[in-house]
């Protein structure tokens, strides 16, 4: 089977996180015997071969090359609205994307198209699907649900794409529900998360002590890790407030914050105001090749996502579980799809810093409980939530669509 994939995020160089989950799925599909062609907009930062197990086809949409500024985690302002330059560049990307994918697909004849993000890729793929009669699947991973509802033109484009799709997937109930008012058919949905590679991220102590020394974390401290873009929907401000709760004052908990984004400076000010700045380590972006050390250094991961706007399950939850770590997550953003409360981690109400603090105190004071939950988390990745199992679900859907 030949699977054509559309995305505007795909790793451009070694260690790039942009669209790493899309790449991981594509490579697993290829490993399971499928032919995979990926279309993505050009970006000046590309420093990778375009041909391998997966064929990558880049299309330019503007001149000069330095104006290629869409996608690759730069299009949104705090994941809430499009940046102003995106409105100026989007028409060129849509037009050129349709032209490039239609031209290639007419020649290559993929059996199915799989678009990640409703806009722009779902619309581009829907036009090609309609013209060439190729079955279409669309995955809704996050901010696209917000963008699709932002103005009448985008709503119309999203409705067209949703009507054309034979399969719709989302990695949280909130994202699924966010696009239902746009005309999405509930019966075409399957809740399929973006997974992790259980062979790439494994429990390991290698480099952990050196990293603790680098971050000036004492041997006796308990490390609570937060990973993700510093955007409002990640809820890291709730984590900072929880760290300031009286129940954690006598607990040696250190928060390690991995990621950058528009909210970072504001959250650093919040930490100063609450008197917990000394208990936080802001390390910025970490290359994919090094992130495993951070997961393995952590005693547990905290993912306090909030629904402003709706978000999907963050891959860091699965990555931490793959490294044998328990996860404390809010009940938002698909966390309940991965975290089994009381078995692989703990679930707390959205935006509830007091309950989050209590959950953190429970794990901080119980290393045996952390070990049991971490082992159960790793088992769940190996048996259900790793890419090999998720790719098989997609292949089954695609074979049904083709048939």
Domain parsing of the chain, residue ranges: 2-195+386-402, 208-385
End-to-end Cα spacing for the chain: 12
Distance CA 112, CA 98 (A): 16
Query: Is 208-385 in the same CATH topology as 2-195+386-402?
Result: yes
pLDDT band at 79 (very low <50, low <70, confident <90, very high): very low
CA angle 61, 67, 72 (to 5 degrees): 80
Distance CA 319, CA 325 (A): 9
Q: How big is the chain, counted in residues? A: 403
Residue 76 confidence (pLDDT) above 60: no
Query: pLDDT, tens digit, for every residue of 8-56?
Result: 999 999 888 889 899 999 999 999 999 999 999 999 999 999 999 999 9
Architecture label for domain 208-385: 3-Layer(aba) Sandwich (3.40)
CATH of range 2-195+386-402; options 3.30.1360.170, 3.30.540.10, 3.40.50.2000, 1.10.1060.10 = 3.40.50.2000
Query: pLDDT, tens digit, for every residue of 175-210?
Result: 898 889 888 899 999 999 888 889 989 999 999 999
pTM here?
A: 0.84
Distance CA 182, CA 140 (A): 13
Query: Percent of the chain at pLDDT above 70?
Result: 96
pLDDT at 82: 54
Residue 81 confidence (pLDDT) above 90: no
Tokens found for residue 212:
């603790």
Distance CA 2, CA 37 (A): 8
Q: Could you write out the DSSP letters of every residue in 5-72?
A: EE-S----STT--TTHHHHHHHHHHHHTT-EEEEEEE--TT--S-S-SSSEEEEE--SSSGGG--SST
C-beta of residue 129 within 8 angstroms of C-beta of residue 135: yes
- Average pLDDT value for the chain: 92
């Amino acid at each position: 089977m030949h699977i054509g994939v559309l995305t505007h995020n795909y790793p451009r160089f070694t260690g790039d996180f942009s669209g790493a989950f899309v790449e991981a799925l594509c490579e697993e599909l290829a490993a399971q015997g499928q032919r995979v062609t990926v279309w993505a907009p050009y970006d000046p930062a590309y420093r990778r071969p375009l041909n391998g197990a997966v064929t990558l086809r880049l299309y330019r949409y503007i001149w000069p090359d330095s104006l290629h500024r869409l996608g690759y985690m730069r299009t949104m302002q705090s994941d809430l609205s499009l940046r102003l330059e995106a409105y100026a560049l989007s028409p060129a990307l849509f037009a050129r994307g349709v032209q490039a994918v239609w031209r290639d697909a007419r020649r290559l004849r993929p059996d199915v198209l799989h678009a990640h993000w409703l806009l722009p890729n779902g619309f581009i793929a829907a036009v090609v699907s309609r013209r060439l009669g190729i079955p279409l699947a669309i995955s809704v991973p996050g901010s696209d649900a917000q963008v699709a509802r932002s103005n009448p033109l985008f709503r119309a484009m999203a409705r067209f794409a949703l009507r054309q799709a034979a399969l719709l997937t989302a990695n949280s109930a909130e994202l699924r529900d966010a696009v239902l008012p746009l005309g999405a058919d509930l019966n075409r949905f399957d809740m399929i998360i973006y997974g992790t590679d259980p062979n790439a991220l494994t429990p390991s102590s290698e480099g952990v002590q050196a990293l603790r020394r680098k971050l000036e974390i004492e041997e006796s401290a308990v490390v609570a890790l937060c990973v993700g873009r510093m955007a409002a929907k990640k809820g890291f401000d709730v984590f900072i407030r929880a760290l300031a709760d009286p129940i954690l004052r006598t607990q040696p908990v250190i928060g390690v914050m991995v990621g950058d984004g528009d909210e970072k400076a504001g959250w650093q000010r919040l930490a100063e105001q609450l008197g917990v700045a000394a208990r936080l380590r802001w390390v910025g972006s970490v290359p994919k090749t090094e992130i495993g050390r951070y997961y393995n250094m952590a005693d547990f991961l905290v993912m306090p996502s909030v629904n402003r706007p709706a978000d999907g399950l963050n891959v860091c939850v699965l990555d931490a579980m793959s490294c044998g770590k328990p996860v404390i997550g809010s009940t938002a953003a698909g966390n309940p799809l991965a975290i089994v409360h009381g078995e692989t981690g703990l679930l707390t109400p959205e935006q509830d810093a007091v309950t989050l603090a209590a959950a953190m105190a429970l794990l901080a004071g119980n290393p045996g409980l952390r070990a049991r939950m971490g082992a159960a988390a790793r088992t769940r990745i190996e048996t259900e939530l790793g890419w090999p199992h998720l790719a098989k679900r997609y292949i089954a859907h695609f074979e049904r669509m083709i048939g």
